[in-house]
Amino acid sequence: MSIALLDPAPAANTAMPSRTELTVLGMTCAACVRRIETALKRVDGVADAAVNLATGSATIKHAPSTQAGALRGAIEAAGYQVLEASAPRARLAALERAADLEHRGLVRDLVFAAALTAPLLILAMSHGALPGSGGLRGAWLQFSLATPVVFGAGRRFLVHAWQAARRGSSDMNTLIALGALAAWSYSTVALASATWNRASAHAVAPHAYFEAAAAIVAFVLLGKLLEGRARRRLGDAVRRLHDLVPAHAHLLDAQGTHDVALDDLRAGDRVLVRPGERVPADGVVEHGASAVDEALLTGESLPVEKLPGSTVVGGARNGSGALQVRLTHTGADTAVARIVEAVERAQGSRAPIARFADAASARFVPIVLGLALVTFALGWLVEPTAAGAALALERAVAVLVIACPCALGLATPAAVAVATGRGAELGVLYKGGAALEAAARLDTVFLDKTGTLTAGEPRLVGLHAIDGDEALLLARAAAVELSSEHPIAHAIVTAARERGLEPRASAKFASRPGAGIAATVDGVRVRIGTSTWLAEAGIASGPLDAETERAAALGQSPFFVAYDDRLAGWLAIADPITADARVALRALRAAGVEVALLSGDRDATARA
């Protein structure tokens, strides 16, 4: 008997594709994106390449055998720079340095261009009304002002256009360079011809467009400067996420406590987190108790109580207690690092609508060049004179400059980057551009209650003592809650102090998250929590169920209190709904979106 394996998978195909992220410098328009993607896809083993103009990132999916050097080499061969930095913080710092360098260069060139273009425009628009601005002398003065602008401040456009032409392609720089050079070249030739034919200083100067050539460079430089500032703001969300994690940590070892850089931490290290500080990396609490604000990860505005054995995440802010934490994940393996990676990946992803922009921009520059040539030809055919040629050139230059495809290639990726970055700041993570675009078609939204619809500031709004001694009930409850860092505990302690009841010391404190707490006060074992928490001690909450249900119907969260083995009363906590939440809910419903509530409270409280 023989056995055959049906459709076996080849071993070579079992390897998962690798993914490489590179930061690219020097891109100016959608044509640059297309050029880099084409170059990367020609590398052996590359399955797909996606380049984002707004974030300056290139995401490449390739076979494990493909070397990173080959990917960098393909980008550099296409005429662009690849940022050499591996660690997220180092890469971000290097990217900021490159952006600052480019910003300073743009400011320098813009100031230089504006300083020469402003008097040039005044001379050109005066039409000889100013002394010395008319005739050949005025034309040569315009030439002397325009030439440094075109070939000095505008050199970057000429160089990029030449590099694109050498590779047999065209981009935004091609349009700018052709527009500026056409206006400058025509004016220079006309001026030289007039000077040759009429050497007199009083000769009539030809119609020149030196001011147009300089203005093209100056205004595009201003646009590039504003665009650069917009791009730098795209990274603000990622930078703020990085800033959630401290740069240093208090390492505990045999020699004591000393500060080390975050990059030097390893899984298994023990660190001290002092009150008010942020946790440096993911780990488990070994000693201490505190309330930790984990809103960056959970969106929950109320701090979470942490006891020995509790897990904490890097970037979470510690409350008033000191914690000793044994680290389980550091560096790129932490929750914050994965959030940053998700945000960067989402910012670099393409929305489906971007495919239309990419397809249009791929054919845009050649079409614009053709339209400019047709415009010039038709203008000259209509009026085949020197004046007609000048007018035709002016209109052709206008077509070249106005039709620059910068916005076409930048608008969609910039919108995705801004939306995902702003969402991350507010605790909303988008998987990518496709998810962001699909959000416009949502018909149902699920909202968390505490801290999302409510203010996240609970306060005591009601209490009842079976024996009538509400002051004793509150005093004992505050004594128990004094050992807890939970915001509800803070609300009870604050209410007691407002009534002149200073909490006393307690002993044998015990807590179970989501159930309740217990401690011994004046020899009495006091329990505070849910009916299940009391039932475990054999205490029935039935006599007070009707009262607590009425409190819950008012939107309050009731908790039972027991002394030793008997029911003593209840406390009610409320977290008020914010005005912003009411406005948001009305806006969602007006947009036809159904709103549902997710809450850990009892059904009556949530519905209230």
Report how far residue 572's alpha carbon sits from residue 558's, in angstroms, rounded to the nearest whole number: 4
> Is the domain of 223 the same as that of 96?
yes
Percent composition of the chain: helix, strand, coil (DSSP 3-state, to 5):
50, 20, 30
CA end-to-end distance (rounded Å), the chain = 72
- Residue 469 is part of a domain; what is its CATH number? 3.40.1110.10
What residues are paired with 52 via a beta bridge? 57
> Is the domain of 342 the same as that of 399?
yes
With a cut of 70, which residues of the chain have pLDDT below it?
Answer: 1-16, 28-31, 54-55, 84-92, 128-129, 131-134, 171, 198-206, 230-238, 296, 298-302, 344-362, 401-414, 417, 421, 424-425, 427, 431-432, 449-451, 485, 599-608
Residue at a domain's end among 308, 331, 354: 331
Token code pair at residue 279: 């946790």
- Residue 197 has a pLDDT of 73
For residue 154, being part of any structural domain is answered with yes
Amino acid type, 375: T
> Is the domain of 122 the same as that of 102?
yes
Q: Where are the alpha helices (DSSP H) in 333-443?
A: 335-348, 352-382, 386-402, 406-425, 433-438
Query: Other CB atoms closer than 10 Å to residue 511's CB: what's the count?
Result: 19
Query: For the whole model, what pTM was predicted?
Result: 0.58
> Is the domain of 125 the same as that of 267?
no
Helix/strand number for the chain, H first, E second: 20, 21
- Give the SS3 label for residue 322: coil
DSSP of 137-158, one letter per residue?
Answer: HHHHHHHHHHHHIIIIITHHHH
- Give the SS3 label for residue 130: coil
Token code pair at residue 291: 């309330």
For residue 420, being part of any structural domain is answered with yes
Domain range for residue 526? 459-574
Amino acid type, 247: A
Report how far residue 608's alpha carbon sits from residue 588's, in angstroms, rounded to the nearest whole number: 19
Q: Are 321 and 485 in contact (CB under 8 A)?
A: yes
For residue 598, being part of any structural domain is answered with no
Query: Other CB atoms closer than 10 Å to residue 480's CB: what's the count?
Result: 28
> Is the domain of 240 the same as that of 229?
no
293, 358, 448, 603: the catalytic one is 448
For residue 5, being part of any structural domain is answered with no
- Residue 63 is part of a domain; what is its CATH number? 3.30.70.100
- DSSP one-letter code for 12: G
For residue 311, being part of any structural domain is answered with yes
- Residue 299 is part of a domain; what is its CATH number? 2.70.150.10
- DSSP one-letter code for 441: G
- Residue 14 has a pLDDT of 44
- Residue 448 bears catalytic tag: yes
Token code pair at residue 3: 């056995």
> Is the domain of 308 the same as that of 392?
no
Q: Are 472 and 501 in contact (CB under 8 A)?
A: no
Distances in whole angstroms, Cα of residue 126 to Cα of each of 130, 147, 191, 235, 383: 6, 20, 18, 45, 26
> Is the domain of 73 the same as that of 145?
no
Strand duo 516-521 + 594-598: pairing: unpaired
> Is the domain of 151 the same as that of 264?
no
> Is the domain of 96 the same as that of 227?
yes
> Is the domain of 379 the same as that of 506?
no
- Residue 202 has a pLDDT of 47
Total number of domains constituting the chain: 5
Report how far residue 102's alpha carbon sits from residue 399's, in angstroms, rounded to the nearest whole number: 28
Distances in whole angstroms, Cα of residue 529 to Cα of each of 482, 513, 554, 566, 602: 15, 10, 19, 14, 13
- Residue 327 has a pLDDT of 92
Give the H or E element holding residue 533.
helix 531-535
Contacts of 265 (CB under 8 A, 6+ apart): 249, 251, 271, 280, 281, 327, 330, 331
> Is the domain of 152 the same as that of 202?
yes
- Residue 271 has a pLDDT of 92
Q: Where are the alpha helices (DSSP H) in 198-320?
A: 210-234, 236-243, 295-298
Residue at a domain's end among 331, 359, 375: 331
Report how far residue 451's alpha carbon sits from residue 600's, in angstroms, rounded to the nearest whole number: 13
For residue 287, being part of any structural domain is answered with yes
Report how far residue 440's alpha carbon sits from residue 593's, in angstroms, rounded to the nearest whole number: 11
For residue 599, being part of any structural domain is answered with no
Residue at a domain's end among 234, 267, 291: 234
Closest Cα to residue 50, out of 364, 436, 347? 347
For residue 71, being part of any structural domain is answered with yes
Cβ burial of 261 (10 Å; 0-12, 13-18, 19+) is exposed
Distances in whole angstroms, Cα of residue 124 to Cα of each of 62, 153, 196, 214, 527: 56, 20, 22, 11, 88
> Is the domain of 101 the same as that of 228?
yes
- Give the SS3 label for residue 310: coil
- DSSP one-letter code for 235: T
Token code pair at residue 206: 């030809």
